[in-house]
Amino acid sequence: MKHLEPCTMAISSPQSNGMAERFVKTMKEDYIAFMPKPNVRTALHNLAVALEHYNENHPHSALGYRSPREYRRQRVMLTLQPLSGNKGARTVAEENAVKTCGDGEGVRIYPESPETGSARRKSPR
């Protein structure tokens, strides 16, 4: 819990707040409600265990009933495939600049928009 890094939501992305709210509700309903919390130390330990379980084992319908880490591992393998058969070709990951925040979460940075002259940011899916 000591090394938390704040991560802002993408601009014009109200569904991001909904996802955060749903995460909090799931943690409360599926984990915190059943945790023994006799003191702060135990509560923090149990919360860390719950977060690990959530990321490693908890199936998510939006991820094809895979855990977040299982989904991320598969996505990373697909992302790192070359764009073409040419040696030295750039990978999808190199083509799409991604600013990571925390444990692999991030914001994809898109090129400047001709209309606004600024880059738009969007959470990767």
Cα 83 to the center of its chain, rounded Å = 24
55 and 29 in a common domain:
yes
Q: Do 52 and 101 share a domain, yes or no?
A: no
CA angle 44, 45, 49 (to 5 degrees): 115
Question: How many domains does the chain divide into?
Answer: 2
Residue 110 reports pLDDT greater than 70: no
State the pLDDT confidence band at 116, using cuts at 50, 70 and 90. very low
CA distance 120 to 97: 12
When pLDDT is averaged across residues 72-84 and rounded to a whole number, the result is 67
Contact 120, 11 (CB under 8 A): yes
Same-domain pairing of 53 and 91:
no
- Domain membership of residue 92 (yes or no) is yes
